[in-house]
Amino acid sequence: MSATAANTFDIVILGGGSGGYACALRAAELGLSVALVEKGKLGGTCLHQGCIPTKALLHAAEIADTAREGQQFGVKTTFESVDMSGVNAYKDGVVGRLYKGLQGLVKSKSIEYVEGAGRLVATNTIEVAGRKLVGKNIVLATGSYAKSLPGLDITGRIMTSEQALFLDFVPARVVVLGGGVIGVEFASVFKSFGSEVTIIEALPRLVAAEDEAISKQLERSFRKRKINFKTGVKFSGVTQTGDVVNVTLESGDTIEADLLLVAVGRGPVTAGLGYEEAGVTVDRGFVLANEHLQTNIEGIYAVGDIVPGLQLAHRGFAQGIFVAEQIAGLNPPVIDEMGIPRVTYCDPEIASIGYTEAQAKAKFGEIETYDYSLGGNGKSQILQTQGFIKLVRQKDGPVVGVHMIGARMGEQVGEAQLIYNWEALPSDVAQLIHAHPTQNEALGEAHLALAGKPLHAHG
């Protein structure tokens, strides 16, 4: 094979995270030649600094709470302490096994895996350490980084999720700056591990992207768990002396803590990578792409967190697969962003799909909603969890939003997404039989009630 042929591919993908590697795997399955360029670890943020390690921490947190709460179930347990070296060994073990599996998967397909930092040097070329990889198609998948605020340096006891994932101690007092998904998940972990936690959120409510009723219930639950939070309050500054941070708010309040976790969102990794020089339209760092994930330059696609929208791993997977199939000529159906399930894994868990009540009102005009309390659900009572399932439907039409909060509700999002994506009517779901006693049954009961034939529902 000539040097040119060895460096020419159907697709060259820049970034081996959720979006990039999913695209590579699907493209290889479809018989396309693929080069996948990754400067760090295959698997990207989700596997190494995101979804997987945080959910392992949240599981360890649940175990700590279970140990504390044994008495509630008549089981004599005592909670002693959290050993971070043990927690980290468990977490790293999970990540390590998945990493190994993923490396094997990529190796087993005929994917040219290129290690190193790449740059778009022409509309069809990525350069890595002097090697030019030419693609009939280019897929940009360089992901995102943890943002900070102007003048807020990430150093010492001021950290983002990236450093917080590798703590070797449990801080006694933590301030979490940001009450979005990452902020509330970490707040939940720290509280369960024994820290005193205060969340600072500039918006009027926690998890502000969720339905307002969900935020209210989360705030109620967090109050009960003695997780402090201040909403509608802006951060003004922080000083750090030794191992102590002093956080000042615009209200004039100050909070002393042993750690400040900055969780103010994630910005796209696109600067200095040649995108704009190649003519790719970028808006505030994000790569703009149409519903087929094509950028304004023919043959250049973008997937994952660099494309405006939900920054979720499964969105990246879906977009990567979509682009591979599109390039292979399969004409896949476009992805409905509202049809992507969203789960926040704090305690209690939040899971949702589709439109919030406010969004549905704005979009569809007349709507109906129904809140089914988990108080009427046997399994939720067994678990001693509180919460509800809120349904939003177009008046006399399909269900356009499902919003759930309570222990383990993330596991219910699978059926919720079928309901939303298949545009089911409440009566369609009401005729399906849900197993008793499961939490899944609560979804069935909510639809029974909205279809006008409630079973275990009050009012």
Ligand X SMILES: Cc1cc2nc3c(=O)[nH]c(=O)nc-3n(C[C@H](O)[C@H](O)[C@H](O)COP(=O)(O)OP(=O)(O)OC[C@H]3O[C@@H](n4cnc5c(N)ncnc54)[C@H](O)[C@@H]3O)c2cc1C
- Which residues participate in catalysis according to the annotation? 436
Cβ–Cβ < 8 Å for 351, 343: yes
Smallest distance from ligand X to CB 22, Å: 8
Would you call the peptide bond into 348 cis, given omega within 30 degrees of 0 as the criterion? yes
**Residue 322 near residue 293 (C-beta atoms within 8 A):** yes
Secondary structure element (H or E) that encloses residue 336, with its range: none
Do the Cβ atoms of 401 and 374 come closer than 8 Å? no
Return the residue of 135, 171, 274, 304 that touches ligand X, per CB under 6 A. Answer: 304
313-327 and 18-29 helices cross at what angle (nearest 10)?
30
Of 75, 74, 16, 3, give the one whose Cα is nearest residue 48: 16
Please calculate the CA angle 110-116-118 and round it to the nearest 5 degrees. 95
44 makes contact with ligand X (CB under 6 A): yes
Of 23 and 257, nearer to ligand X (C-beta) is 23
Should residue 46 be labelled a site residue for ligand X when binding is judged by CB under 6 A? yes
Contacts of 150 (CB under 8 A, 6+ apart): none
Q: How far is the CB of 78 from ligand X (least distance, A)?
A: 31
Angle of helix 357-364 versus helix 212-224 axis, rounded to 10: 180
* Nearest residue (CB) to ligand X, 15 versus 426: 15
Q: Distance of CA 58 to CAs 80, 83, 186, 191, 351, Å?
A: 18, 14, 8, 11, 16
Residue 268 makes contact with ligand X by CB under 6 A: no
Separation of alpha carbons 13 and 145, rounded Å: 19
Stretch that binds ligand X, among 149-157, 189-197, 310-318, 445-453 (CB under 6 A): 310-318
| Touching ligand X, residues 181-200 (CB under 6 A) | 182
264 interacts with ligand X by CB under 6 A: no
Binders of ligand X among residues 270 to 289 (CB under 6 A) are 273
Among 142, 163, 386, 417, binds ligand X (CB under 6 A): 142
Residue 402 or 429 with smaller CB distance to ligand X: 402
Cβ-based nearer residue to ligand X, 79 or 90: 90
Q: How far is the CB of 280 from ligand X (least distance, A)?
A: 14
Which of these segments, 42-50, 204-212, 213-221, 371-379, binds ligand X (CB under 6 A)?
Answer: 42-50
Member of 9, 11, 12, 16 binding ligand X (CB under 6 A): 16
Q: Say whether residue 203 binds ligand X (CB under 6 A).
A: no
Does residue number 207 form part of the binding site for ligand X (CB under 6 A)?
no
CB 242 within 8 A of CB 250: no
Compare residues 61 and 430 and give the one whose CB is closer to ligand X: 61
Q: Which residues contact 264 (CB under 8 A, 6 or more apart)?
A: 147, 148, 149, 177, 178
Q: Are 260 and 247 in contact (CB under 8 A)?
A: yes
Give Dmax (Cα) for the chain: 75
Does the protein bind ligand X through residue 312 (CB under 6 A)?
yes
Residue among 9, 17, 301, 416 that touches ligand X (CB under 6 A): 17
- Residue 41's CB is within 10 A of a number of other CB atoms, namely 17
Residues 330-349 that bind ligand X (CB under 6 A): 345
CB of 46 to ligand X, least distance (A): 4
Select from 90-98, 187-195, 306-314, 418-426 the region that touches ligand X (CB under 6 A).
Answer: 306-314
For the bound state, the minimum distance from the C-beta of residue 68 to ligand X, rounded and expressed in Å, comes to: 24
Does the footprint of ligand X cover residue 141 (CB under 6 A)?
A: yes
39 near ligand X (CB under 6 A): yes
Write the single-letter amino acid at 352: S
117 lies in the binding site for ligand X (CB under 6 A) = yes
How far apart CA 303 and CA 324 sit, in angstroms, is: 11
Q: Are 308 and 286 within 8 A, CB to CB?
A: yes
Stretch that binds ligand X, among 16-24, 56-64, 322-330, 394-402 (CB under 6 A): 16-24
Place of tokens 């089981």: 75
Length of the chain: 459
| 352 contacts ligand X (rule: CB under 6 A) | no
- Residue 305 binds ligand X, judged by CB under 6 A: yes
Nearest to 143 by CA among 28, 256, 270, 247: 270
Contact range with ligand X by CB under 6 A, out of 33-41, 323-331, 382-390, 423-431: 33-41
Binding stretches for ligand X (CB under 6 A)? 14-20, 37-40, 44-46, 49-51, 54-55, 117-118, 141-144, 161, 182, 269, 273, 304-305, 311-314, 316, 345
